[in-house]
Chains A and B, each alone.
Chain A
Amino acid sequence: MAEQTAKRQIAVPLMSDFAARGEEPEVLFWVGCAGAFDDRYKRVTRAFVRILEHVGVKYAVLGMEETCTGDPAKRAGNEFLFQMQAMQNITTFEGYNVKKIVTACPHCFNTIKNEYPALGGNYEVIHHSTFLQQLIDGGRVKLEGGEAYKGRRITFHDSCYLGRANNIYEAPRAVLEALDADLVEMKRSKANGLCCGAGGAQMWKEPEPGKKDVNVERTEEALATLDGNAEALAHIQGKESGNEGATPAPKQNNQGSIIAVGCPFCMTMMADGVKNKERENNVQVFDLAELVASAEGLNA
């Protein structure tokens, strides 16, 4: 990337800017609380905006008008708070005549897509994995000119709210396949994927007493998969025999492996798990948007 000196500062467009000009963007990018406040996931938000700018999509964000979708409140049983948040957001959406929403958070995605309609909010909502797949399929992103992922070992951790909740399993894999990487599947993947441990408002509380933390269990599986550690994989519980796939061969090259995620909570949990296992030196956790932006050479 050394030769790429040209860079351009992005003034992220706001919905209110469009409205002031009497225009509407093609798509609203819903950033989400993690995307706006969590230091790690802010990098994903920035990567995704670079991609949006690069392909020239007419997009906008809500900026300070955004507020929590209410997902964590609803999963924790606080239906009242959820509906307050939902109504507030729906009012904002209606004010800007929003039709199409893209988000990098499966929890926001699920909530707006599936639970806002009962409260009067009907939108076309897509997760950024699907959006990125469309850009790649349409040739608008070529995954050239940046970091090469060819031959690097990557495993994708399915987010519950993308996978089982909404049956999106192929889009993130299609994005990763386009990287020409060495994609390996965990034993518990797709519909049989194991939760990172953060869903259902677990992100904001200590786990109940038990043998170990869910994210450690999941990270151990991810690491064993990336390493091709057949012995460790044989001891994994909760597999489904028709669904478990092949055991990856032992890892050959010395390039760093990657756990790919598509969810801010999974990002936190898997990164913590890698830290817990003291593998940060050779295993990194990246979001799909980060991988795409970096492969396309958009970071500046």
Chain B
Amino acid sequence: MFFVGKFAYSKITDIIRPKNLSGKKGKFVRHNEYFSVPPIPLHPVTIQNIIFLLVVLAGFGLFAWQVRKIRANISHGRDRDMSGDVGERLKKTLLVAFGQQKMFKRITPALLHLVVYVGFIVINIEVIEILIDGLFGTHRVLGFAGGFYSALTATNEVLGALVIVAVAAFWWRRNRAEPVRRFRGTEMRAWPKLDANIILYVEVVLMVALFVMNAADLKLHQVEGATLPGAFPIGSWLAGFLPDNATTLHVLERVGWWAHIVGILLFLNYLPSSKHFHIIMAFPNVYFSRLMPQGQFSNVDSITHEVKAMMDPTYQVPTPPASEGAEAAPTTFGAKDVNDLAWTNLLNAYSCTECGRCTSVCPANLTGKLLSPRKIIMDTRDRMEEKYNSPLIFDPALYGPAAKHEPQEQLDKENHTLLRGYVTPEELWACTTCNACVEACPVNINPLESIIEMRRFLVLEESAAPNSLNVMFSNIENNGAPWAFSPSDRFNWADELYVAEKA
């Protein structure tokens, strides 16, 4: 169950220490040195380990810095209590986020996505190994696991190949002459399209790096007459195409290894700029999604106090608990800008992967209206990053025709807001509140909440409802019905009403 090739090879990997190339002979003895005692103190630190450590620290550090900025953006949203119901929320997260329950409403993309998702999770076990190897100078440190390790590497290779196939299918669905309908639409401008393709290309590069690493590693062991732990159904096939020169193979293996890990770290830092951030945000987003029936719209408590005070003059409006400084200033009704939305609505925006399932089932969008639920969510994210932190290493807004936004000079950055600056009243009034978008979203994003909040602002702060709706409002106020009927006719339906008597 122990692997002779490992120790020889752990030296080979350290190209700057060629003495290790001869280490193969002592493998059985050295085995105990390495695995019966903690390996760290016994292994001399090399320049490569230090470089690796610095790269990893930079990668994760930069990512943490970006996540902090996004966290700050989301916390600009209004407070909303989403605590409690832990069991129910965990169950939902397990089903919808981990289990991809809602993806399976569309079977073809669900299966393709499942391949990439499972590939992502399983191949990341290999990343743990790469981190340990890179930091401590070991090679394939999980190799001691024997059959389990073989199963892991074999699964990785099969999944890696399937990922390439799935990614090719995804690319075809987006880039052919007549793409899948939901990948089109006004909000799918140059940047979102480019972003989607960048993700696909990076995934292929990462998989290719994995195969190069495995194939070269395998061939190197063959050339040197050693055994490599693990099973490599595809790497062994690819190894046939590689040269027999040991130095070349060393270099190839190292290139594959470094490309895989550095690629992953770069990709990690690309996520906050990308729709691909959903691979992380989907989980908190589903956890914090609503538990109440979809038909239940939020209650505006401040209005409840006003209405109660109107109906009962003795009603005491409860003072908000320990108002902090200027926070006691009256808040606006509804949402004009991103900070008027609840923090969960802002979390939604960072969880969106722009798949367009919402828009593809929206009755307004299907019949050619301007409304696209996906655009509301994408606009929310764009506006947040314009108004607050742009967590981006590179800001797509600065890249001209490829930008998410219109060119900046067309925007009055100080004065425009989410409402009207991005989302027009025409879009908002086209919504039938049918909840199809909410139902369709695989990660429980709720575009309807944001739409209603902006409608509330239009009606309650600006009295800017379409005139016909104002007529409906005054009918309700005056007649107690949305139509202009006299309340005294309300019971006329019961006149001359008969029922057949059955024996």
Measured CA separation A200–B431 after assembly (Å): 7
Contact string, A204-235, partner B, CB cutoff 8 A, digits 1/0?
Answer: 11111111111011100000000000000000
Contacts of A37 in B (CB 8 A): 481, 483, 485, 489-490
Q: What is the CB-to-nearest-CB distance from A70 to chain B, in angstroms, rounded to a whole number?
A: 7
Which residue on chain B has the smallest CB distance to residue A44? B493
Residue pair A217, B476 in contact (C-beta under 8 Å):
no
Pick out which of these stretches binds chain B: A19-27, A61-69, A250-258.
A61-69
Which residue on chain A has the smallest CB distance to residue B357? A240
Q: What is the CB-to-nearest-CB distance from B264 to chain A, in angstroms, rounded to a whole number?
A: 33
Measured CA separation A191–B452 after assembly (Å): 21
B404 within 8 A of partner (CB) = no
Contacts of A160 in B (CB 8 A): 295, 432-436
A10 within 8 A of partner (CB) = yes
Contacts of A167 in B (CB 8 A): 293
Residue pair B433, A119 in contact (C-beta under 8 Å):
no
Pick out which of these stretches binds chain A: B84-92, B147-155, B304-312, B337-345.
B304-312
Tell me how many residues of A have a C-beta within 8 Å of chain B: 91
A31 within 8 A of partner (CB) = yes
Residue pair A238, B500 in contact (C-beta under 8 Å):
no
Residue pair A10, B498 in contact (C-beta under 8 Å):
yes
A85 within 8 A of partner (CB) = yes
B292 within 8 A of partner (CB) = yes
Q: What is the CB-to-nearest-CB distance from A35 to chain B, in angstroms, rounded to a whole number?
A: 7
Residue pair A200, B433 in contact (C-beta under 8 Å):
yes
Q: Which of B326-362 contact A (CB under 8 A)?
A: 333-334, 360-362
Q: Which of A8, A197, A208 contacts B499 (CB 8 A)?
A: A8
B107 within 8 A of partner (CB) = yes
Residue pair B432, A242 in contact (C-beta under 8 Å):
no
Measured CA separation A207–B369 after assembly (Å): 9
B68 within 8 A of partner (CB) = no
Contacts of A198 in B (CB 8 A): 432
A249 within 8 A of partner (CB) = no
Residue pair A300, B473 in contact (C-beta under 8 Å):
no
B125 within 8 A of partner (CB) = no
Given A80-B303, A164-B294, A164-B439: A64 and B430 interface contact (C-beta under 8 Å): no
Residue pair A79, B300 in contact (C-beta under 8 Å):
yes
Residue pair A241, B108 in contact (C-beta under 8 Å):
yes
Residue pair A31, B493 in contact (C-beta under 8 Å):
yes
Which of B304, B334, B433, B500 is packed against the most chain A CB atoms within 10 Å? Answer: B500
Measured CA separation A7–B501 after assembly (Å): 5
Contacts of A31 in B (CB 8 A): 493
B25 within 8 A of partner (CB) = no
Residue pair A7, B498 in contact (C-beta under 8 Å):
yes
Measured CA separation A223–B493 after assembly (Å): 31
Which residue on chain A has the smallest CB distance to residue B467? A205
Residue pair A68, B482 in contact (C-beta under 8 Å):
yes
Residue pair A194, B311 in contact (C-beta under 8 Å):
no
Q: What is the CB-to-nearest-CB distance from A285 to chain B, in angstroms, rounded to a whole number?
A: 18
Q: Which of A77, A166, A209 contacts B452 (CB 8 A)?
A: A77
A275 within 8 A of partner (CB) = no
A42 within 8 A of partner (CB) = yes
B459 within 8 A of partner (CB) = yes
Residue pair B480, A67 in contact (C-beta under 8 Å):
yes
Q: What is the CB-to-nearest-CB distance from A89 to chain B, in angstroms, rounded to a whole number?
A: 10
Residue pair B500, A164 in contact (C-beta under 8 Å):
no
Q: Which of A26-80 contact B (CB under 8 A)?
A: 31, 33, 35-38, 42, 45-46, 49-50, 53-54, 61, 63-64, 66-68, 70, 72-80
Residue pair A12, B497 in contact (C-beta under 8 Å):
yes
B190 within 8 A of partner (CB) = no
A134 within 8 A of partner (CB) = no
Which residue on chain B has the smallest CB distance to residue A75? B433
A87 within 8 A of partner (CB) = yes
Given A10-B498, A75-B433, A77-B460: A204 and B469 interface contact (C-beta under 8 Å): yes
Given A35-B493, A72-B472: A87 and B311 interface contact (C-beta under 8 Å): yes
Residue pair B500, A87 in contact (C-beta under 8 Å):
no
Residue pair A209, B369 in contact (C-beta under 8 Å):
yes
Residue pair A201, B472 in contact (C-beta under 8 Å):
yes
Measured CA separation A260–B480 after assembly (Å): 29
Measured CA separation A205–B426 after assembly (Å): 12
Residue pair A64, B488 in contact (C-beta under 8 Å):
yes
Pick out which of these stretches binds chain B: A94-102, A110-118, A175-183, A276-284.
A110-118
Measured CA separation A8–B503 after assembly (Å): 12
Contacts of A191 in B (CB 8 A): 439
Contacts of A194 in B (CB 8 A): 361, 363, 366, 436
Residue pair B502, A54 in contact (C-beta under 8 Å):
yes
Contacts of A72 in B (CB 8 A): 472, 476, 482
Residue pair B499, A68 in contact (C-beta under 8 Å):
no
Given A64-B491, A119-B299: A164 and B434 interface contact (C-beta under 8 Å): yes
Measured CA separation A88–B296 after assembly (Å): 19
Measured CA separation A70–B468 after assembly (Å): 16
Contacts of A6 in B (CB 8 A): 500-501
Residue pair A46, B497 in contact (C-beta under 8 Å):
yes
B297 within 8 A of partner (CB) = yes
Q: Which of B431, B459, B480, B499 contacts A300 (CB 8 A)?
A: B499
Measured CA separation A37–B487 after assembly (Å): 10
Measured CA separation A4–B498 after assembly (Å): 13
Measured CA separation A281–B490 after assembly (Å): 32
Q: Which of A165, A211, A299 contacts B293 (CB 8 A)?
A: A165
Given A37-B483, A79-B333, A195-B432: A241 and B369 interface contact (C-beta under 8 Å): no
Residue pair B500, A7 in contact (C-beta under 8 Å):
yes
Q: Which of B181, B432, B491 contacts A200 (CB 8 A)?
A: B432
A297 within 8 A of partner (CB) = yes
Residue pair B460, A79 in contact (C-beta under 8 Å):
yes
Residue pair A300, B500 in contact (C-beta under 8 Å):
yes
Residue pair B360, A33 in contact (C-beta under 8 Å):
no
Q: What is the CB-to-nearest-CB distance from B24 to chain A, in angstroms, rounded to a whole number?
A: 55
B249 within 8 A of partner (CB) = no
Given A37-B489, A75-B433, A114-B296: A53 and B499 interface contact (C-beta under 8 Å): yes
B28 within 8 A of partner (CB) = no
Which residue on chain B has the smallest CB distance to residue A70? B476
Q: What is the CB-to-nearest-CB distance from B375 to chain A, in angstroms, rounded to a whole number?
A: 14
B115 within 8 A of partner (CB) = no
Q: Could you list which residues of chain B lie within 8 angstroms of chain A, going by C-beta atoms?
A: 104-108, 110, 181, 292-297, 299-300, 303-304, 306-308, 310-311, 333-334, 360-364, 366-371, 426, 429-436, 438-440, 452, 455-460, 465-466, 468-469, 471-473, 476-477, 480-483, 485, 487-494, 496-502
Q: List 6 A-B contacts (CB under 8 A).
A: A9-B498, A68-B476, A75-B297, A80-B303, A194-B361, A238-B366
* With A84-B307, A210-B369 already in contact, 6 other A-B pairs whose C-beta atoms are closer than 8 Å: A46-B494, A160-B295, A188-B361, A214-B363, A237-B181, A242-B106
Q: Could you list which residues of chain A lie within 8 angstroms of chain B, going by C-beta atoms?
A: 1, 4, 6-10, 12, 31, 33, 35-38, 42, 45-46, 49-50, 53-54, 61, 63-64, 66-68, 70, 72-81, 83-85, 87, 110, 114-115, 118-119, 145, 160-161, 164-167, 188, 191-195, 197-214, 216-218, 237-238, 240-243, 297-300
Q: 10 tightest A-B contacts by CB?
A: A165-B295, A211-B368, A77-B455, A200-B433, A67-B480, A210-B368, A195-B434, A114-B296, A77-B459, A118-B299
